[in-house]
Amino acid sequence: MSLVLEGVSKVVNGQTHIHPTDLELSSGTMNVLLGPTSSGKTSLMRLMAGLDVPNSGKVIWNGKDVTGMRVQDRGVAMVYQQFINYPSMTVYDNIASPMRLLGQTADQIDTAVKKAADLMKLTGMLDRKPLELSGGQQQRCALARALVKDAGLVLLDEPLANLDYKLREELRAEIPKIFEEAGSIFVYATTEPEEALLLGGNTATMWEGRVTQFGQTPVVYRQPVDATTARVFSDPPMNFLKIRKSGDSVVFGDGQTAAATGALAPLADGNYLAGFRPNHLELQKHAPDALEFNGKLNVTEITGSETFVHLDHHGENWVGLVHGVKDLRIGTSLNVYLDPRHIYIFAEDGTSVAAASYATAA
């Protein structure tokens, strides 16, 4: 099976929701659409499913142009963050409904429903109505219904957002395996870079209706082709700093100078944009050649085992993510350190630099 998008676009009331997009997904793959809210993830999924018709381009399923085909005539299962169940049916009948429409036997239905219910921790609730369930249980019911449909294309739009942490982690590991074993094309939309990394497979980063990069998830994370992709695939977003390469040295925004080694060495003389992820800022110097920067501490956020440090560095807002609970005074000057090996290099306009577009360690 394969799903190919050829130059598909979507314009609504004069506003472009999806710019012309080419994308090819193959059987048995798990594909993540990663991007912030309003980046176009749901719009692109609706075009894949046939819920919307593109203004231009084609949607090709297994070599057949299905651009104008109704969604009910395609083998598609879709689950939204806002769960949808039939309130008058029991949980059992909700899960069984797609199999009944396909004419499956009672034994086939019973086996599949019980297997899906067991996976989703719904076995003891099969006789209940959806409104008798918690929000998380209702979402699990919707997921179970998608599991038994045996669809060739499975679209999940932030489906785990309403679940508790433990179950969310379990399902992140289990659901892709199930669909991959069935040979389905699995598309999963999320705003969370960490979730994309946990799911693995392939990732398409999205920004303002465009797919900025598509490939194996670790490759997209470690080797972003531009600053926009790097920003999307970082939570909090990647920090940036203007730099200038001159001979064997690199001058950073505030005058800090470092030797042009590693990924910096092959750069031609000129101005660039350096990027680094929040978790690579440190409050102590560990690498012998670490760069030292000074900023004003604006805010700290303690998450339990980690602390977010918000800095004003010469008008640039930086965020650092450091281990442990840090008792830091707001408004004071703070020194932070950065290992040059973790710096990504882009052109001034954010496009990739062929000779050194990514850090040596991510």
What is the reported pLDDT for 361? Answer: 45
What is the reported pLDDT for 288? Answer: 86
Residue 360 lies in a domain: no
Q: Do 207 and 175 lie in a common domain?
A: yes
Q: Do 87 and 38 lie in a common domain?
A: yes
Residue 93's SS3 state is helix
Domain boundary among 194, 228, 262: 228
Domain boundary among 164, 194, 228: 228
Residue 280's SS3 state is helix
Q: Do 251 and 103 lie in a common domain?
A: no
Q: Are 286 and 273 in contact (CB under 8 A)?
A: no
Q: Do 276 and 220 lie in a common domain?
A: no
What is the reported pLDDT for 89? Answer: 95
Domain boundary among 185, 204, 228: 228
Q: Do 48 and 87 lie in a common domain?
A: yes
Phi, psi (rounded to 5 degrees) for 235: -135, 110
Residue 101 lies in a domain: yes
Q: Do 234 and 308 lie in a common domain?
A: yes
For residue 48, give Cα distances in angstroms to 73, 181, 190.
13, 21, 16
Q: Do 47 and 156 lie in a common domain?
A: yes
Domain that holds residue 224: 2-228
How far, in Å, CA of 240 to CA of 48, rounded? 34
Residue 76 lies in a domain: yes
**At a CB cut-off of 8 Å and minimum separation 6, what does 304 contact?**
325
Residue 311 lies in a domain: yes
Burial tier of 134 (Cβ tally within 10 Å: 0-12, 13-18, 19+):
exposed
Total structural domains in the chain?
Answer: 2
Q: Do 28 and 116 lie in a common domain?
A: yes
Q: Do 104 and 20 lie in a common domain?
A: yes
Residue 17 lies in a domain: yes
Query: Consecutive 10-residue runs of the chain (362 residues): their mean pLDDT?
Result: 95 96 92 96 95 96 92 84 86 94 92 89 94 85 85 88 78 71 85 92 97 96 94 93 91 79 82 93 89 91 90 92 88 91 90 58 48
For residue 40, give Cα distances in angstroms to 43, 137, 157, 205, 277.
5, 28, 11, 10, 24
What single-letter amino acid sits at 56? S
**Short-list 274, 160, 212, CA closest to 35:** 212
HEC profile of 170-236: HHHHHHHHHHHHCCCEEEEEECCHHHHHHHCCEEEEEECCEEEEEEEHHHHHHCCCCHHHHHHCCCC
Residue 352 lies in a domain: no
Q: Are 206 and 21 in contact (CB under 8 A)?
A: no
Residue with tokens 């050649």: 289
**Short-list 37, 2, 33, 24, CA closest to 155:** 33
Residue 296 lies in a domain: yes
- The DSSP code sequence of 111-128 is HHHHHHHHHTT-GGGTTS
What is the reported pLDDT for 178? Answer: 66
Q: Do 36 and 95 lie in a common domain?
A: yes
Q: Do 294 and 266 lie in a common domain?
A: yes
For residue 226, give Cα distances in angstroms to 17, 116, 214, 275, 353.
21, 41, 12, 10, 8
What is the reported pLDDT for 182? Answer: 67
Residue 361 lies in a domain: no
Q: Do 141 and 81 lie in a common domain?
A: yes
Alpha carbon distance, N-terminus to C-terminus of the chain: 34
CATH at 170: 3.40.50.300
Residues 7-29: pLDDT tens digits?
999 999 999 999 999 999 998 88
What is the reported pLDDT for 355? Answer: 41
CATH at 278: 2.40.50.140
Q: Are 30 and 201 in contact (CB under 8 A)?
A: yes
Q: Could you give the residue ranges of the DSSP H alpha helices within the chain?
A: 41-49, 91-101, 106-119, 135-148, 165-181, 193-199, 217-222, 227-232
